Amino acid sequence: MTRTLSIRQAATLGLVVVLCLATGVWGLFRVSAKSGLWAETCDLTIVSADARNVEPGTPVRVRGIEYGRVTSVEPSGDNVCIQVRLDRKARDLLFADASATVQTKGV
Protein backbone atom coordinates (compact mmCIF):
# COMPACT_ATOMS: atom_id res chain seq x y z
CA MET A 1 0.00 0.00 0.00
CA THR A 2 1.38 3.39 -0.94
CA ARG A 3 0.56 6.71 0.62
CA THR A 4 0.55 9.94 -1.26
CA LEU A 5 1.59 13.23 0.22
CA SER A 6 -0.80 16.09 0.46
CA ILE A 7 0.10 19.30 -1.35
CA ARG A 8 1.07 20.90 1.96
CA GLN A 9 3.32 17.97 2.96
CA ALA A 10 4.96 17.91 -0.49
CA ALA A 11 5.62 21.66 -0.35
CA THR A 12 7.09 21.38 3.16
CA LEU A 13 9.32 18.47 2.14
CA GLY A 14 10.45 20.34 -0.99
CA LEU A 15 11.28 23.44 1.03
CA VAL A 16 13.31 21.40 3.54
CA VAL A 17 15.26 19.70 0.73
CA VAL A 18 15.99 23.03 -1.00
CA LEU A 19 17.14 24.62 2.28
CA CYS A 20 19.44 21.67 3.02
CA LEU A 21 20.96 21.80 -0.45
CA ALA A 22 21.42 25.58 -0.27
CA THR A 23 23.11 25.28 3.14
CA GLY A 24 25.42 22.56 1.81
CA VAL A 25 26.42 24.57 -1.26
CA TRP A 26 26.97 27.70 0.86
CA GLY A 27 29.18 25.72 3.27
CA LEU A 28 31.17 24.21 0.41
CA PHE A 29 31.92 27.63 -1.07
CA ARG A 30 32.84 29.06 2.35
CA VAL A 31 35.34 26.26 2.99
CA SER A 32 36.80 26.15 -0.52
CA ALA A 33 37.12 29.95 -0.74
CA LYS A 34 40.00 29.77 1.72
CA SER A 35 41.96 27.00 0.01
CA GLY A 36 42.32 25.16 -3.24
CA LEU A 37 41.08 26.38 -6.60
CA TRP A 38 39.10 29.33 -5.22
CA ALA A 39 41.72 30.48 -2.70
CA GLU A 40 42.19 34.22 -2.35
CA THR A 41 45.94 33.74 -1.88
CA CYS A 42 48.58 31.15 -2.66
CA ASP A 43 51.54 30.30 -0.43
CA LEU A 44 54.96 29.59 -1.92
CA THR A 45 58.35 28.64 -0.54
CA ILE A 46 61.42 30.24 -2.08
CA VAL A 47 64.82 28.72 -1.30
CA SER A 48 67.66 31.21 -1.60
CA ALA A 49 71.33 31.36 -0.68
CA ASP A 50 70.96 35.03 0.24
CA ALA A 51 68.10 36.69 2.09
CA ARG A 52 69.68 39.91 3.29
CA ASN A 53 67.10 42.61 4.07
CA VAL A 54 64.25 40.08 3.70
CA GLU A 55 61.95 39.84 6.71
CA PRO A 56 58.28 39.11 7.34
CA GLY A 57 56.20 41.85 5.77
CA THR A 58 58.66 42.56 2.94
CA PRO A 59 56.71 43.18 -0.30
CA VAL A 60 56.90 40.53 -3.03
CA ARG A 61 56.72 41.65 -6.65
CA VAL A 62 55.90 39.60 -9.72
CA ARG A 63 57.00 41.27 -12.96
CA GLY A 64 57.40 44.54 -11.09
CA ILE A 65 53.91 44.61 -9.55
CA GLU A 66 53.39 44.01 -5.82
CA TYR A 67 51.30 40.86 -5.36
CA GLY A 68 52.09 39.77 -1.83
CA ARG A 69 54.30 39.76 1.23
CA VAL A 70 56.92 37.58 2.90
CA THR A 71 55.34 35.64 5.78
CA SER A 72 58.46 34.04 7.28
CA VAL A 73 62.22 33.66 6.79
CA GLU A 74 63.94 30.58 8.25
CA PRO A 75 67.44 29.14 7.84
CA SER A 76 67.65 25.73 6.19
CA GLY A 77 71.19 24.37 6.06
CA ASP A 78 73.27 26.57 3.76
CA ASN A 79 70.14 28.23 2.34
CA VAL A 80 67.21 30.27 3.59
CA CYS A 81 63.55 29.28 3.16
CA ILE A 82 61.39 32.31 2.44
CA GLN A 83 57.64 31.76 2.78
CA VAL A 84 55.56 34.18 0.72
CA ARG A 85 51.81 34.71 0.37
CA LEU A 86 50.70 36.01 -3.03
CA ASP A 87 47.35 37.30 -4.27
CA ARG A 88 45.37 34.93 -6.44
CA LYS A 89 46.00 37.18 -9.46
CA ALA A 90 49.70 36.26 -9.40
CA ARG A 91 49.00 32.52 -9.73
CA ASP A 92 48.55 32.72 -13.52
CA LEU A 93 51.82 34.65 -13.87
CA LEU A 94 53.96 31.91 -12.29
CA PHE A 95 55.08 28.75 -14.02
CA ALA A 96 56.62 25.51 -12.72
CA ASP A 97 60.12 26.61 -13.77
CA ALA A 98 59.84 30.14 -12.31
CA SER A 99 62.84 31.61 -10.53
CA ALA A 100 63.09 34.31 -7.90
CA THR A 101 65.68 36.94 -7.10
CA VAL A 102 66.20 38.96 -3.94
CA GLN A 103 66.67 42.62 -4.80
CA THR A 104 66.95 45.73 -2.71
CA LYS A 105 64.69 48.63 -3.46
CA GLY A 106 66.62 51.55 -4.96
CA VAL A 107 66.49 55.10 -3.70
- DSSP conformation letters of 52-103: TT--TT-EEEETTEEEEEEEEEEEETTEEEEEEEEEGGGGGG--TT------
Mean pLDDT of the chain: 85
Cβ contacts of 79 within 8 Å, gap of 6 or more: 47, 48, 49
Alpha carbon distance 104, 101 (integer Å): 10
pLDDT, tens only, 33-61: 565 556 678 888 999 888 888 999 999 99
Q: Which of 88, 95, 94, 97 is nearest to 36 (CA)?
A: 88
Decide: pTM greater than 0.75.
no
